[in-house]
């Protein structure tokens, strides 16, 4: 196991990635090579390791080693382990959420849009969802409620930002995802690409002439892309016009809409449960 290096000064250079560098600098940490990101808590770190992400260093709160932490340390036996007391650790951003352990990890090579879509039947498309908390929550719902993949436009918050990964409970490492890019830009080329693959597209939006979330045409669709927009502005008018359906979730008590993360959970459950049911039936037939 790698030696443990005690840190007593919050200003130590070893703590820069954990304590002082903003997400944009971490993203370009090794430029022109891939950057790094910070995973917080044993559960999130463990899911990243399960997915094959490469650890670079660990930061552990002194005296807080438990079974979960010990397992992570064993799996990262060849990387530096920095140990800091509470007086240093408590100064870290989001200290209360770290569960006494953080890990600096190398960013992966992103999948291409075609790679993410290959074999998928239910896809979530996020258009300019800028709040990392919302992005993390949407990923958690997508992984739990039968979405096969997530595609993000360039205006979205990065799923590997520490708050997004933390809120997702590490599910950003479990479900395939990528950004639309120059090869397949959003919206025109991206929408056309999805349709060539046989996806029907459903825009979640407050508009007239919408269909209800439980419309049989949606639930029975062989391939479906659920398109969600940012808080406030929602989806672009061009995106809504290009989608096959505009979908609305029925509201009561005079409420006009849900937070995008909450709306995603409702949509993924309703529009993905047929796929979950088919997968369950297939699994039972194999047993």
- CA-nearest of 148, 195, 145 to 175 is 148
d(CA 156, CA 181): 12
Per-residue pLDDT at 282 exceeds 60: no
d(CA 258, CA 262): 6
pLDDT at 98: 64
Residue 30's alpha-carbon distances to 34, 106, 134, 244, in angstroms, are 6, 9, 28, 42
What percentage of the chain reaches a pLDDT higher than 90? 70
d(CA 6, CA 27): 26
Per-residue pLDDT at 278 exceeds 60: no
Per-residue pLDDT at 281 exceeds 90: no
Three-state DSSP class for residue 7: strand
Q: What is the mean pLDDT of residues 205-213?
A: 83
- Residues, the chain: 287
Q: Sorting pLDDT into bands at 50, 70 and 90, what band is 86? A: confident
pLDDT at 102: 94
Q: What is the DSSP letter of 96?
A: G
Q: Sorting pLDDT into bands at 50, 70 and 90, what band is 188? A: very high
pLDDT at 284: 45
Least confident of 88-92, 237-241, 264-268: 88-92
Residue 57's alpha-carbon distances to 43, 54, 60, 89, in angstroms, are 16, 10, 10, 16
pLDDT at 277: 56
More confident residue, 210 or 53: 53
pLDDT at 232: 78
- CA-nearest of 27, 40, 24, 150 to 102 is 40
Q: In what order do the strands lie in the sheet with 245-248?
A: 177-179, 149-152, 122-127, 224-229, 200-204, 245-248, 211-212
Q: Nearest-5° angle of CA 15, CA 63, CA 161?
A: 40
In the block, residue with structure tokens 């047993």: 287
- Assigned token pair, 171: 């599910």
Mean pLDDT of the chain: 90
Q: What is the mean pLDDT of residues 93-107?
A: 82
Per-residue pLDDT at 286 exceeds 50: no
Q: Is the pTM of this model over 0.75?
A: yes
* Packing angle of the helix pair 67-75, 42-50 (nearest 10 deg): 30
Strands 177-179 and 149-152: parallel
- Assigned token pair, 35: 């950057």
More confident residue, 180 or 100: 180
């Amino acid at each position: 196991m790698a030696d443990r290096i005690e840190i007593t000064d919050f200003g130590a250079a070893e703590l820069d990635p954990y304590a002082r560098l903003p997400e944009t600098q971490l993203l370009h940490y090794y430029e022109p090579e891939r950057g790094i990101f910070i995973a917080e808590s044993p559960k999130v770190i463990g899911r990243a390791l399960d997915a094959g992400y490469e650890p670079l260093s660990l930061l552990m709160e002194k005296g807080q080693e438990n079974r979960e932490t010990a397992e992570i340390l064993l799996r990262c036996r060849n990387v530096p382990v920095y140990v800091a007391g509470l007086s240093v650790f408590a100064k870290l951003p989001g200290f209360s959420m770290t569960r006494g352990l953080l890990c600096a990890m190398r960013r992966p090579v992103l999948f291409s849009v075609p790679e993410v879509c290959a074999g998928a039947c239910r896809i979530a498309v996020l258009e300019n969802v800028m709040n990392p908390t919302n992005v993390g929550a949407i990923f958690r719902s997508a992984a739990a409620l039968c979405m096969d993949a997530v595609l993000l436009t360039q205006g979205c918050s990065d799923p590997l930002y520490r708050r997004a990964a933390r809120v997702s409970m590490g599910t950003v490492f479990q479900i395939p995802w990528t950004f639309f890019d120059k090869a397949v830009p959003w919206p025109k080329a991206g929408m056309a690409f999805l349709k060539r693959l046989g996806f029907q597209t459903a825009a979640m939006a407050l508009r007239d002439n919408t269909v209800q979330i439980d419309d049989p045409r949606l639930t029975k669709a062989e391939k479906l892309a659920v398109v969600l927009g940012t808080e406030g502005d929602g989806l672009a008018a061009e995106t809504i016009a290009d989608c096959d359906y505009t979908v609305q979730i029925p509201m009561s008590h005079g409420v006009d809409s849900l937070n995008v993360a909450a709306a995603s959970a409702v949509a993924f459950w309703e529009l993905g449960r047929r796929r979950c049911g088919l997968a369950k039936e297939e699994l039972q037939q194999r047993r």
